[in-house]
Structure 1
Amino acid sequence: MMDSSPHKVYHVHGFDSRQYLEHYFSDKPDMAFGDDVLKFPIDNLRHVFAVGHINGDILIDLSVGSFIHHLYSACEFFKNIIVLKANNRCIMELKRWVDDRTGAFYWGHTSSLLQEKEENSDQFQVQEAKVRSAIQHVVKYDLEKENMTDPLVLPPADCVIITGLLDYISKDQDDYIRHLRKFSRLLKPGGHLILMGGLDKTYFTVGKDKFHSFTYNEDFVRKALVGEGFIIDYCKVKERTAVSDLIDYKAVIFIAAHKEK
């Protein structure tokens, strides 16, 4: 169960979306999470998409905050990306970047991660433009509704990406599985799920506020996926290298799976 400490809850209380990006995704010298939350997702997403099985018309992204670097590879394999966000501040932050407006968060420091294999100095600008073009809709969701985007009805997705969200909205194991089941309904039969999160994590910090995180291990998340009818195609776990008390995960996990038809 969620602990009794006065931690806030992501989808209930919201947070400063720009400060979240500055803490965990920026190019500041004291940003400790580059290997774990920038390089690790980009490398693994590039790998699973390159295999060629995960592609189609529609990808739905369910991720915490307003980061976009995990969509660099996805836009090469999906025509349309629909992004779902829990609160207006995250929506505004993301739209500022999508519309290329003054004051949008800077992602140029991730260009070196894209260019490791491409070796093309223009690759980052091209990739940014592709992501912006692919993001067709940014939609607010409400977890309390049966159709969480009501009154909008989303088309079935070929792939759903969930990055960190299940960690922060789930209070216990049953809650995690209930949310996983709800999100998996967004998929077409046989659709693919890409799931990323932090293992053995109890909190994360934004500004002066601490937020709840559901604590789980690799065995739990594997069993949860199999229990919901998924076949796991790829799994990678990376032990934490970051030194910071902003967040207390022990490792990061990346899983690609597909739903049995």
Structure 2
Amino acid sequence: MDSSSHKLYHLHGMDSRQHLEHYFSDKPDMVFEEDFLIFLIENFTKTFSAGHIRGDVLIDLSIGSMIHHLYAPSEFFKAIIILKVRDRCILELKRWLNTRTGAFEWGHATQLHVDLEGKSAELQDKEGKVREAAQHVAKCDLNKQNIMDPVVLPPADCIISCWLLDAICEDQNDYIRYIRKFSELLKPGGHLIIFGCLNVTYYTVGRDRLRALTYDEDFVRKALVGEGFVIDKCVTKKRTGISDLIDHTGVIFAAAHKEK
């Protein structure tokens, strides 16, 4: 099937709960644990536990209603501002943040995180810290000069973006343009952390097949350096889970800082 006929996340939306169930649940048939849970949590934990990425404000610009990437940074930032491009993702996320009945169960991801830290006794406390730090959840429009117009965001010490660029960029020029926009939201010396899929063309949510941007590690490195970032860490992992839901060949974690 021609990927140009697939839906686009930011234009057409997706079932945010089904997205979580497909790619982040603890169900026996969920084959992405190594790629999307363990590899992600390992790299976020190692990166933030080093202690040099910290501050007042962290902005999260990630796909869907995922939360497990915020366990590690919640220890090092006073406030996390979570921005979404779709209302449905905000509703699903707030269900978990407000501990409402029927919220997605993230206990398995929390357990992975505390096990990596060697702090299994802090299981409940870990989720509480994320909820306490996530002070603002709001909708944004990345096509606007001020993505929160008329609200002006405070300069961020760190921006995290997981899979969002994969989902919203129609070509590689778009990817570079959004990296530039992220840079504008950062303080001088601020950090940018990106997680995404390599060589992907589509991903499936429920009955919908959505288009994804195809790129490789070399492109990510060049995009970051080209927009004035110094790469501190860039690691990839070959695809482990085999599923028709998504056709990626691997995943990438990149951490960089903005030159002062």
TM range (shorter): over 0.9
Q: How does 1:1-261 map to 2 (within 5 A)?
A: 5-261=4-260
- 8 Å CA contact 2:61, 2:159 repeated in 1: yes
Residue 120 of structure 1 deviates from its aligned partner by 4.1
**For residue 179 of structure 1, what is the amino acid of its counterpart?**
Y
Residue 148 of structure 1 deviates from its aligned partner by 1.1
For structure 2, list consecutive stretches of 5 or more residues without a partner in the other structure.
Answer: none
Question: TM-score normalized by structure 1?
Answer: 0.96
For structure 1, list consecutive stretches of 5 or more residues without a partner in the other structure.
Answer: none
For each residue in 1:187-224, what CA deviation from the matched residue of structure 2 results, as whole angstroms up to 9, or x when unmatched?
00110000110000000000111111010000001000
- 8 Å CA contact 1:84, 1:138 repeated in 2: yes
Residue 4 of structure 1 deviates from its aligned partner by 5.4
Is the partner of 1:122 in helix, strand or coil?
helix
Residue 171 of structure 1 deviates from its aligned partner by 0.9
Is the partner of 2:192 in helix, strand or coil?
strand
For structure 1, which segment, 105-114 or 207-216, has the greater mean C-alpha deviation from structure 2 after superposition? 105-114
For each residue in 1:167-203, what CA deviation from the matched residue of structure 2 results, as whole angstroms up to 9, or x when unmatched?
1111111111111111221100110000110000000
2: CA distance, partners of 1:4 / 1:163:
21
Q: C-alpha root-mean-square deviation of aligned residues, in Å?
A: 1.1
2: CA distance, partners of 1:222 / 1:5:
26
Residue 113 of structure 1 deviates from its aligned partner by 1.1
- 8 Å CA contact 2:203, 2:210 repeated in 1: yes
- 8 Å CA contact 2:3, 2:202 repeated in 1: no
2: CA distance, partners of 1:39 / 1:101:
26
For each residue in 1:53-92, what CA deviation from the matched residue of structure 2 results, as whole angstroms up to 9, or x when unmatched?
1000100001000010000010001110000001110000
Work out the number of aligned pairs and report it: 259
2: CA distance, partners of 1:184 / 1:41:
22
Is the partner of 2:94 in helix, strand or coil?
helix
For each residue in 1:119-154, what CA deviation from the matched residue of structure 2 results, as whole angstroms up to 9, or x when unmatched?
444322110000000001001011221111111111
Is the partner of 2:102 in helix, strand or coil?
coil
Is the partner of 1:185 in helix, strand or coil?
helix
Percent identity between the two aligned chains = 64
1: CA distance, partners of 2:33 / 2:45:
17
For structure 1, which segment, 56-65 or 170-179, has the greater mean C-alpha deviation from structure 2 after superposition? 170-179
Question: TM-score normalized by structure 2?
Answer: 0.97
- 8 Å CA contact 2:110, 2:127 repeated in 1: no
Is the partner of 2:95 in helix, strand or coil?
helix
- 8 Å CA contact 2:190, 2:257 repeated in 1: yes
2: CA distance, partners of 1:115 / 1:72:
9
- 8 Å CA contact 1:238, 1:253 repeated in 2: yes
Q: Provide runs of 4+ in structure 1 moved above 6 Å.
A: none
